[in-house]
Amino acid sequence: MKIDADKEFGSRECPGCAMDVPENNNRCPICGYEFPNPTPRQKHMKLWGALIMLAIFLIVILRLL
């Protein structure tokens, strides 16, 4: 089951029952499957967010000099 509206909040398909489970939910509410780790995509998003913030910070500093 796939609902596009849920994609904005982040979801992953449960391997047990194919239900979309929110990324912040480590356990499937339908069948009780436990996801081993946070999804790599979420980690990448945080990493890229930090890098972009650092880049903007550096650009602002360089412009001030």
Note the residues at the interface with Zn ion (CB under 5 A).
Answer: 14, 16-17, 19, 28, 30-31, 33
Reduced to 3 DSSP states, what percent helix, strand and coil does the chain have, rounded to the nearest 5?
45, 10, 45
If the CB atoms of residues 33 and 42 are measured against Zn ion, the closer one turns out to be 33
Rounded to a whole number of angstroms, the minimum distance from the CB of residue 32 to Zn ion is 7
Q: Tokens 């500093």 sit at which residue?
A: 61
Distance (Å, whole) CA 53 – CA 4 = 29
Q: Which is nearer to Zn ion, 12 or 17 (CB)?
A: 17
Work out how close the CB of 12 gets to Zn ion at its nearest, in angstroms, rounded to a whole number. Answer: 10
